[in-house]
Amino acid sequence: MELVEVRFPAAGTFVCVAPGTTLLAAAALAGVEIVTGCTRGMCGTDAVRVACDRADALEPPTGAELGTLQRMGLEADSRLACSARVRAGTVEVLGDAVVDGPVAPRG
């Protein structure tokens, strides 16, 4: 199994995780805090902006995640950290999709 690299540039860290890992779980492993709410893809509290090195780096959004992203009017580069699962390559978590701020290291 080939690991997926998840980068958190604003926190200056990264982690390599197995395919299927959520961005929220990757953040926890990297020591990066992402504020969450329901963790079911419904509330949108953990909406983040992402950049991927390949089109299939993330699994497609579930119906619940897609509905929440659309309801919030977020751009195509936004995903919910609790729902977005890595698949391959490299994924960068660039910051909060709503307030456009960077994610921060736990402190």
Residue 105 φ then ψ, to 5°: -70, 150
- For residue 104, pLDDT over 70 is answered with no
Which residues are registered as beta bridge partners of 8?
A: 13
Confidence of residue 41 (pLDDT cuts 50, 70, 90): confident
Q: How many CA atoms lie within 13 A of 72 on its CB side?
A: 24
Query: With 0-12 CB in 10 A as exposed, 13-18 as middle and 19+ as buried, what is 29?
Result: middle
Which domains are seen in the chain, by residue range? 4-100 (3.10.20.30)
* Ordered strands of the 47-52 beta sheet: 13-17, 4-8, 90-96, 47-52, 78-80
- For residue 3, pLDDT over 90 is answered with yes
β-strand pairing of 4-8 with 90-96: parallel
What is residue 68's predicted lDDT score, i.e. its pLDDT? 94
The per-residue pLDDT for range 43-91, each reduced to its tens digit, is: 999 999 999 999 999 999 999 999 999 999 998 899 999 999 999 999 9
- For residue 99, pLDDT over 70 is answered with yes
